[in-house]
Amino acid sequence: MTRETSVHGEWSSRWVFILAAAGSAVGLGNIWKFPYITAEYGGGAFVFIYLICVLMIGLPIMMAEILVGKRGKHSPINTLKIVTAETKQSKFWQIIGWMGTFCGFLILSYYSVIGGWTMAYVVKVGSGMFSHIDMLHDKAMIVSQVSGVFNQLMANPQELILWHTIFMMLTMTVIVGGVQGGLEKAILYMMPSLFIVLFILVGYAMSTEKFAEGIAFMFKINFSALLFSDCVDGYCKFNGQGILAAMGQTFFSLSIGMGAIMAYGAYLPKHVSITQAATIVVLSDTLVAILAGIIIFPIAFSNGLEVNQGPSLVFNTLPIAFGHMPYGTLFGALFFILLVLAAWTSSISILEPPVAWMVETGRFTRFSATLVCGILSWALGLLTIFSFNILSDFKPLSQFAMFKEATLFDLIDFLTSNILLPLGGILIAVFVAWFLPKALLLEELQMKANHWVYRAWYFTLRYITPVGVGLIFLKSIGILA
């Protein structure tokens, strides 16, 4: 017998849940990571594969996670215990809850660091640091000055630790407040505001001289740049890393596979449609990612910037835009404030699963559980900080070709985005589509067995999603050439 409401409370309405889940999904993965990883893998072809992954992998798994969370009404770890016991399935499937919670914990450690970068840029942009660049006519000088600010930040571990600490404390403050007292209040106005500012910046990007070139780069499909590398005399080596990256970005951007969506699903009122809620969240998340690319690539091309800059891309392009815009200091500070808020809503969703589990053990209050989880994740985040300065030359797996240049941050990112998240996705897809009774699925989805949406979702989750993710996962760990 399942509970009607979660032990932690529930969302006050369907739209609050949608805003919360969208807040979990929409964040640094869309605005910070999506543009630079798109550039890294050739533009339009990557976007095309990413959209396919969202449709065939992201949406079905998100619906499955919400369904399981809604059924169990507890943290992901205990939800899997409850659902496996109710359906008399093997305890093996409880690994999904543990793996997702652990993966989210790892992601939060570096997510908080990057959230700290955005906070630092609120101060840098808001203080007018970039307001003078509109007086410079040499694009190379503009690029040098803007990139120099970011490089100085990366080289200063003390400043990075300060911002990382502040960001983690903000995250912990919201978690302590619980579902309606903390989570709801934090996200209710953040997401609409973020969309407003994004559309303002799209308007600015449309006015740049290389807008058409940026759009072409993002939407013109060239699979050779995505699928092949090491070309010599017309012969190229097949490289599936771009497809793997698209799949990993799907998990990272949608916050699936890390327990966050399952935890939020546990707070969902019983009458809410899982299908409608998941679809709106996925569409919102994808729209923000596309808008981020539409903003950043034209700005980069118009200012002579290389788009293949890795994690620094958003910090080396948008300040240039704000430096040239009327009231750029105001809009720049506002944008990075909202980027902080987007990162904040995601980070609280990642921290919620381990905190909820610790509270459910009966040994911790919400305050003490938040304190323990937050401090441990903060400490782990120091490895990411040092990867950009004092440990930048430390490449612990350099003996392996694919990790030759990988820092500690690169390895944690690869482990979470390309290993743990996809593996968790395979397991949740197989568990829900192959082992849970159809009657349970239909009850939670509020559908009939002959409904075309249910049949499409069930078929995709049962066959396409696990096979597709499985093949790419095997490629990522070197089993498939």
Per-residue pLDDT of 117-148, as tens digits, reads: 999 999 999 888 887 776 666 677 777 788 88
Residue 330 belongs to a domain: yes
Which token pair is 444?
């939670």
Instruction: Convert the pLDDT of each residue in 317-342 to its tens digit.
Output: 778 877 777 777 887 888 788 788 77
The structural domain count of the chain equals 1
Residue 102 belongs to a domain: yes
* pLDDT higher than threshold 80 for residue 6: no
- Region 250-273: mean pLDDT is 82
pLDDT value of residue 119: 95
Q: How many residues does the chain have?
A: 481
The number of beta carbons lying within 10 Å of the beta carbon of residue 197 is: 16
CATH, residue 182:
1.20.1740
Chain-centre distance for alpha carbon 253 = 3
* pLDDT higher than threshold 60 for residue 228: no
Residue 481 belongs to a domain: no
Residues facing residue 237 across a β-bridge = 229
141, burial (CB in 10 Å: exposed 0-12, middle 13-18, buried 19+): exposed
Enclosing domain of residue 296:
14-476
Those residues whose C-beta lies under 8 Å from the C-beta of residue 400, and which sit 6 or more positions away, are none
Residue 6 belongs to a domain: no
Tell me which residue of 119, 76, 117, 410 sits closest to 256, measured CA to CA: 76
Q: What is the value of pTM for the model shown?
A: 0.85
Instruction: Tell me the C-alpha distance between 281 and 275, whole Å.
Output: 10
Residue 2 belongs to a domain: no
- Do 427 and 444 contact (CB within 8 A), yes or no? no
Residue 232 belongs to a domain: yes
Residue 8 belongs to a domain: no
